[in-house]
Amino acid sequence: MDVDMNEKEIRNAIVHMSNSKEYLALKRYFSEESVLKTLGVSRDEKVHSNFLKWLLSPNANHELDFAPIQKFLRMLSAVANEEYNHKCFFPKEYHDKFLFEDYTLCDDSKVMAEEPTGCIAGFDKKGRIDILIHLHFKDSDKILPIIIENKVLSTENREDKTGTKMQTQKYYDWGTVKYNKPQFENPIYVFLCPDFERDIKCSCDAFIKVSYQNLINYVIEPCSIAASTAHAKFLIEDYLRCLSNSTLDQTNSVKEGKIMGFTDIELELLRKFHEKNKDLFNAVLTMLEHDEENDEVRKSYRAARSGSSSHDRSTYVMDGQIYKKGPLMVAIVEKYLEQNPGVDVHTLKRVFDLSLVFNHKPIILLPKETPNALKAKAPEKELADRTQIYINNQVQIGDMESIIDLCKNLKYDIEKV
C-alpha cells in the first residue's frame, strides 16, 4: 500500500480531526435526525412525492404562494439546456418564459401526487403517476401538464406484461394518449432521482433528467430561506436534513442508505473538513482500495483517492505558460472565449461538458447555479451578450485526464511538467 503516513502520524491525525471545529459541527449537525428518518420513511418514494406536492402547490399552507412552482419551472429551463438533456422534450418557447418568469399562473393550476392513471396506454386501475402538475397560464386557454417520475431507491423498471417496455416509455405513451385533446399542451416529462445528473439513466429521451441536488439548489433551499412562517420553515429545513441524512443505520443496503443531496452550508462544512484532513482521507481510501476484492469498487476508491490526495503538485504548460490545475482550467476557457468572442452560454456549456470531482459542478456556471462559497473562488466573466458566468476552478488530479482529452478535442497543446 502507498500510504505516506506512519502509525504515529495516523493516530495524531485522528486526534486532530476529532477535535477540529469542522468535525464537531458536522457531528452535531448529522446527529440530529430528521423527523422522516426517525419515523423510518426517509427513503419512501411516496413520502417524497407528497412533500414535493405540498411544496409546489400554490394553495398549500406554506404561504409561499406561487414561488416554489416558479422556482421549479426556472430549474427546468436551466437543466433542460444541459448537454446530458440535449434530447429531452422542452419547447424553446418555455426556456426564456420560465427563466425570466414571463408568465402569470392562474389559481386553478394544481399539483397532484400518486394520481391514478386510469385504464389507458396499457395501465390498469392500480397505475399511478408519482407527481402530476397542471399549469394554467393567464395568456393561454390550454393546460400544460408536467409528468414527474420520482425515483428514490429503485431504478427504472419494465412496466408492460411482455417485459419489453421500460417505465418511462410507458409513461410517455400514457401522456401522449391522456393529453391528446385540444385543451392541453404537449406534456413536459421529468425523471427525478438522487444520482448525479450525468449518471442518471432514463430509457425515454423525452424526459428531462433532474437530480435531487438540482431540486435543493434551485427550489428547496431558496424556499427555506424565503419561508415566512415557523411551520413552513421547520418542514422545509427538516426535509433538507432528511435528504442529507444517510440511512445506513436503518438498512444493510448501501443503495438504500444513499445520501440524496446537500445544502450549501453542508457542502462548505464538508469541504473544509476534507481540506484539513486530506492525508487521513488518503490513508483510509488506500486501505479500502487494498482490501477490496471487487474490481469496480476498487477503481472507485482509487479515483476518490486521486481526488482527495493533498500531495499532487503537478504543473502544466500551455502556450509557453506554466499553470497549476485550477489556473489551467481558467486559461483554457479564456483561450476559447478569445478565439470565439461571440459564443453564447449554451454552446460554452456544451463545449466544456465536464463535472469536477471536488464539487460535482460543471466547468461553466451561471450565477444562479453557483454556490456562494464557490463564487468567492471562481473567476467571473462576461460574454459578448452580457451573460455573466463563473469558471469552476476547483480542479483535482482526478479531473486532469478528462481535461486533457477536452484540450485534444479543442486542439490545444497541454503538457505536464
The 10s digit of each residue's pLDDT in 117-129 is 999 888 888 889 9
- Whether 326 and 282 map to the same domain: the answer is no
The pLDDT of residue 313 is 63
For residues 279 and 205, the model is more confident at 205
- Whether 12 and 66 map to the same domain: the answer is no
- Whether 53 and 16 map to the same domain: the answer is no
Cα-Cα-Cα-Cα dihedral sign, residues 300, 302, 305, 307: negative
Is 339 contained in some domain?
yes
The pLDDT of residue 204 is 94
Which whole number is the average pLDDT over 145-156?
90
The pLDDT of residue 310 is 46
- Whether 91 and 207 map to the same domain: the answer is yes
The pLDDT of residue 201 is 83
Residue 294 pLDDT more than 80? no
- Whether 54 and 124 map to the same domain: the answer is yes
- Of 99-113, 212-226, 303-317, where does mean pLDDT reach its minimum? 303-317
pTM, 2 dp: 0.70
Is 260 contained in some domain?
yes
Which whole number is the average pLDDT over 88-112?
94
| Residue range(s) defining the domain that contains residue 269 | 7-29+255-308
Which whole number is the average pLDDT over 162-168?
73
Conformational region of residue 58, where left means phi above 0, alpha means psi within -120 to 50, and beta covers everything else: alpha
Which whole number is the average pLDDT over 191-212?
87
Sheet (strand 208-211) strand order: 110-116, 128-136, 143-150, 188-193, 208-211
Residue 412 pLDDT more than 90? yes
Across the chain, mean pLDDT equals: 86
Residue 179 pLDDT more than 90? yes
The pLDDT of residue 1 is 46
- Of 109-123, 141-155, 283-297, where does mean pLDDT reach its minimum? 283-297
Residue 254 pLDDT more than 50? no
pLDDT band at 281 (very low <50, low <70, confident <90, very high): confident
- Whether 390 and 329 map to the same domain: the answer is yes
- Whether 143 and 196 map to the same domain: the answer is yes
Is 178 contained in some domain?
yes
pLDDT tens column, 359-380: 678 899 999 888 877 887 889 9
Domain boundary among 308, 328, 350: 308
- Whether 375 and 270 map to the same domain: the answer is no
Is 176 contained in some domain?
yes
Domain boundary among 289, 308, 327: 308
For residues 339 and 249, the model is more confident at 339
Domain boundary among 175, 197, 230: 230
- Whether 197 and 170 map to the same domain: the answer is yes
Let me know if 328 is exposed, middle or buried by CB neighbors in 10 A (0-12, 13-18, 19+): buried
Is 241 contained in some domain?
no
Which whole number is the average pLDDT over 312-338?
88
- Residue 225's closest CA among 240, 243, 245, 210? 240
Reduce the secondary structure of the chain to three states and give it as a string. CCCCCCHHHHHHHHHHHHHCHHHHHHHHHHHCCCHHHHCCCCCCHHHHHHHHHHHHCCCCCCCCCCHHHHHHHHHHHHHCCCHHHCCCCCCHHHHHHHHCCCCCECCCCEEEEEEECCCCCCCCCCCEEEEEEEEEECCCCCEEEEEEEECCCCCCCECCCCCCCEHHHHHHHHHHHHCCCCCECCCEEEEEECCCHHHCCCCCCCCEEEEHHHHHHHHHHHHHHHCCCHHHHHHHHHHHHHHHCCCHHHCCCCCCCCCCCCCHHHHHHHHHHHHHCHHHHHHHHHHHHHHCCCHHHHHHHHHHHHHHCCCCCCCEEECCEEECHHHHHHHHHHHHHHHCCCCCHHHHHHHCCCECCCCCCECEECHHHCCHHHHCCCCEEECCCCCEEEECCCCCHHHHHHHHHHHHHHCCCCEEC
What's the number of domains the chain is made of? 3
Angle at 319 between CA 316 and CA 321, to 5 degrees: 55
Residue 173 pLDDT more than 50? yes
- Whether 79 and 209 map to the same domain: the answer is yes
Q: What percent of the chain has pLDDT over 70?
A: 89
